[in-house]
Amino acid sequence: MAIPTDLFDLTGHVVLVTGGGSGIGKACAEAMIRHGAKVMIGGRTVEKLAGAVEELNRLADGQPCAAVRLDVADDASAQEAVAETVTKFGGIHAVVNSAGVMCKKPTFELTGEEVNNLYNIHVTGALRVSQAAGEHFKTQGSGCIINIASISSFMSLTEVTAYACAKHAMMGLTQSLANEWAKHGIRTNGIAPGFIPTDINRKMIEGTDRGRRILEHTPMARFGTGDEIAGAAVYLASQAASFVNGITIPVDGGYLASGIGDSVAPWAATTE
């Protein structure tokens, strides 16, 4: 197989990004466009999508971004979003499953309905979109699925049990699809962001005791950005990751590697 000059070039690729109107999803969409892809962003809030499309279309010539209303909790909506992507851009080559919600409350107070809602959006929602896109991938003999998991796929956090359960399951979904669909030329991988302030968690971690403790256990001593997650998404969608399948990559500033050592918190006292 000939090695392309630019392993990260996505020219000619079409990518559907769920939850693409803001946060990590929008950052992934921007990065894909900057590397040559055409991107369809999906989400439930039409106004947010419209603003994101306007912004993203300033990045390159030819209107590389469009939007589709997408509710990942609805089977028909997932099918329609994939179909509209194919109609608009002439095909589909990758999916980034980034749609998500948060539920923070003491686990004693958590209801089964709340757990099922998060599971339905994060896990079953990702499955719905992957199945719809996977039919096209199977026909063309290639395709890429990127699931946005979480640092909580690997470790526990207090009072976000429903979210953590869903993100653990998302990593399991990634491995299952990677194992079963590789024979169709479909690669499935995940990204586990560390602590990235977004609309669903900013109030939990910025300027809070929880955020202080997170930074104390992050060797890089800061929160991450959506752009830093998007770089991993470009890698996984590109030829550079052509033999990468079934892995979930933590992008966390060293949080999972942190043990007992010197304090790395920005406010920590220093000694000479």
- What are the residue numbers of the active site? 163
Distance CA(82)–CA(129), nearest Å, equals: 7
**Run of H or E including 129:** helix 125-140
Residue whose tokens read 């929880």: 210
**Which token pair is 60?**
């390159």
Cα end-to-end span (Å), the chain: 55
Distance CA(26)–CA(44), nearest Å, equals: 14
Distance CA(72)–CA(79), nearest Å, equals: 10
Distance CA(131)–CA(133), nearest Å, equals: 6
Residues 6+ apart with CB under 8 A from 102: 160, 163, 200, 201, 204
Distance CA(133)–CA(157), nearest Å, equals: 33
Let me know: does 121 contact 99? Beta carbons within 8 Å.
yes
**Angle subtended by helix axes 226-237 and 23-34, to nearest 10:** 50
Distance CA(218)–CA(252), nearest Å, equals: 8
